[in-house]
């Protein structure tokens, strides 16, 4: 697992802050057979909470499958990091080669802006396609013999599906609520050289959040934790600083998923 800078500072600041999913395992332990999947980012078809929460990547996620597809659901408050540096879902195929889908591939968007007065309610509310994500058109592809392009449209002929939504969730740290990305993927099992799930026990996978390489100015700026000022509490200042540092940190999680068989 690679980290560019500031690991110790981040640990000190976030120890005690990342508690929203402490009871979940770091990587998924269960197999899930999933039907009626739709890559719309709503996560309606997934059991909540998701199966695992990984402290290194700040990602909650679930994996599932049927006899034709491998499915992934992700919830992460690292939306800006994903938008600016991409999230990679990588699976090792039966030949031992990595197959990956990168979201987004082409980044030409600004961070989303919200009319908080309109979309905040007492309960969690999902609002889709605000500024940033509505302009994402492509995902990156690597290691699939049948696809020669390095990037394909979100709507494509290859059976790969990707959907994303934005979630603004009430928070005791962020006064206006904390923003999350909800991402869903579906990848045909044939791209992993799997023709029959009964002949395969498990797949190794990685979820990677690429980080930026900091400039000297950015290193200097982030060398000291933020302090409360201008009505911002120290708790909020710490949370903002934590995300700023993580933007310049490449993080990943590794796991093994055992393919589910159709229930009787």
More confident residue, 3 or 241: 241
Q: Does residue 256 form part of some domain? A: no
Structure confidence at residue 107 as a pLDDT band (50, 70, 90): low
pLDDT of residue 264: 84
DSSP letter string over 228-250? -BTTB-HHHHHHHHHHHHHHT--
**Alpha-carbon span 99 to 189, nearest angstrom:** 11
Q: Does residue 191 form part of some domain? A: yes
Average pLDDT estimate for 226-244? 87
Structure confidence at residue 104 as a pLDDT band (50, 70, 90): very high
Q: Which residue has the tokens 């940190």?
A: 249
pLDDT of residue 171: 93
- Per the structure, the count of domains in the chain is 1
Instruction: Compute the mean pLDDT over every residue in the chain, rounded to the nearest whole number.
Output: 83
Q: Does residue 262 form part of some domain? A: no
DSSP character for 133? Answer: G
Furthest CA-CA distance within the chain: 61
Q: Does residue 12 form part of some domain? A: yes
Helix axes 234-247, 7-14, angle to 10 degrees: 150
pLDDT of residue 214: 86
Q: Does residue 186 form part of some domain? A: yes
Beta-strand ranges (E) seen in 93-137 are: 98-103, 125-127
Q: Does residue 264 form part of some domain? A: no
User: What tens digit of pLDDT does each residue of 17-57 get?
Assistant: 344 455 899 999 999 999 999 999 999 999 999 999 999 99
Q: Does residue 260 form part of some domain? A: no
Contact between residue 40 and residue 13 where contact means Cβ atoms under 8 Å apart:
no
Average pLDDT estimate for 231-235? 87
**Alpha-carbon span 187 to 170, nearest angstrom:** 32
Return the H-helix or E-strand segment holding 169: strand 161-169
Flag whether pLDDT at 140 surpasses 70: yes
Flag whether pLDDT at 129 surpasses 70: no
Average pLDDT estimate for 235-250? 92
The whole model's pTM is what?
Answer: 0.83
More confident residue, 175 or 13: 175
More confident residue, 224 or 236: 236
DSSP character for 195? Answer: S
Flag whether pLDDT at 133 surpasses 80: no
Q: Does residue 255 form part of some domain? A: no
**Alpha-carbon span 173 to 242, nearest angstrom:** 13
DSSP character for 196? Answer: -
Flag whether pLDDT at 6 surpasses 80: no
User: What tens digit of pLDDT does each residue of 198-219 get?
Assistant: 989 999 999 999 999 888 888 8
DSSP character for 189? Answer: G
Structure tokens at 148: 């020669």
Flag whether pLDDT at 240 surpasses 50: yes
Domain around 121: 7-250
């Amino acid at each position: 697992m690679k980290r560019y800078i500031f690991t110790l500072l981040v640990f000190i600041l976030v120890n005690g802050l990342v508690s929203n999913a402490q009871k979940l395992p770091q990587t998924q332990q269960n197999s899930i057979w999933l039907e009626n999947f739709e890559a719309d980012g709503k996560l309606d078809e997934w059991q909540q909470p998701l199966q695992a929460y990984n402290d290194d990547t700040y990602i909650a996620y679930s994996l599932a499958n049927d006899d034709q597809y491998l499915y992934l659901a992700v919830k992460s408050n690292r939306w800006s990091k994903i938008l600016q540096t991409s999230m990679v879902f990588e699976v090792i195929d039966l030949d031992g080669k990595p197959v990956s889908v990168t979201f987004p591939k082409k980044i030409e968007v600004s961070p989303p802006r919200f009319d908080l007065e309109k979309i905040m309610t007492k309960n969690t509310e999902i609002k889709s396609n605000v500024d940033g994500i509505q302009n994402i058109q492509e995902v990156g592809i690597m290691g699939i013999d049948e696809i020669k392009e390095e990037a394909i449209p979100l709507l494509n002929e290859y059976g790969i599906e990707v959907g994303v939504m934005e979630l603004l969730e009430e928070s005791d740290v962020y006064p206006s609520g904390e923003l999350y990305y909800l991402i869903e993927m579906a990848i045909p099992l044939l791209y992993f050289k799997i023709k029959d799930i009964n002949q395969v026990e498990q797949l190794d996978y990685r979820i990677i959040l690429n980080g930026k390489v900091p400039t000297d100015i950015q290193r200097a700026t982030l060398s000291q934790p933020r302090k409360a000022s201008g009505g911002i509490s120290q708790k909020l200042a710490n949370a903002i600083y934590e995300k700023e540092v993580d933007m310049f940190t490449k993080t990943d999680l590794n796991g093994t998923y055992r393919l589910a068989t159709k229930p009787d």
